Amino acid sequence: MSLKTRSIVFATFFSSCLIVGLLVASLTTKNWIQGSAKRVNYNESNGQINFGLFSGHRRLNVGFGVRDYRIDVMAMVRNEPEVMSYWLWLGAALGTGLGVLGGVIAAIASVLKAASASKKTGTMVVLFVSNLMTGISQTIAFVCWLIQFYNYLTHNVLLAEDRNNNWYSTGLIMLGSSFYFIAGGIALVVVNLILLIVATRLERWERKKFLNPTTDDKTQGAIMLY
């Protein structure tokens, strides 16, 4: 494999690291959902809500100051299935986690391939498979959370105790930055796959050129005279 081809492969290392960074940030931050809450017939009451895949906060003000309540997303999914679907939540969480794993494998494989001049295709196969794995995993997470949002969360993100106190969040919720990290990761996977396809075609062209070297006119003439 030529230096040019290895350089293209090595470029995927940086985008793979960025994918891992985006997905880890997505898993650990609390902005998959953000929005506000209001209280029926209480104009002075307002609230702010944000949560990620595992935890978040709801800050409710009934007119006497803001009170910050922690949201345990796993407990909410388990105890209040009308708020969130367990399977859609699990799909988003597992998809994001598997995306991190695929990104790590892709980053390691890109370094190994770029450091070796060997023409064996095994590492390149690992690169393609790991990138496809992280791309598919992220797409599953993306789709699951979109379905979760439109089927459940746009209607309500509040616990029963809040709803019983006349709080509502219908039409006040939107997707947060943590969710859009997934979209960024998918875009980077597409970039990686394009670079790998370019590197593969370049390697084939170089191999064909090596096996079938072109001869110039002088060489052709010398051969004919001989």
| Domain CATH for 113 | 1.20.1410
pLDDT of residue 222: 46
The answer to whether position 59 is within a domain reads no
* Distant-in-sequence, close-in-space partners of 46: CB < 8 Å, separation ≥ 6: 36, 37, 38, 39, 61
Q: Which domain holds residue 147?
A: 3-31+74-206
The answer to whether position 191 is within a domain reads yes
- pLDDT over threshold 90, residue 17: yes
Residue % of the chain over a pLDDT of 90? 57
Does the model's pTM come out above 0.75? yes
Q: What is the mean pLDDT of residues 62-74?
A: 86
Q: Between 9 and 147, name the one with better pLDDT.
A: 147
Asked if residues 36 and 47 have their Cβ atoms less than 8 Å apart, the reply is yes
Least confident of 28-37, 102-111, 137-146, 199-208: 199-208
Q: How many domains does the chain contain in total?
A: 1
**Mean pLDDT rounded to a whole number for the chain:** 86
The answer to whether position 150 is within a domain reads yes
At 216, the pLDDT band (50, 70, 90 cuts) reads low
Tens-digit pLDDT profile for residues 166-200: 888 998 999 999 999 999 999 999 999 999 998 88
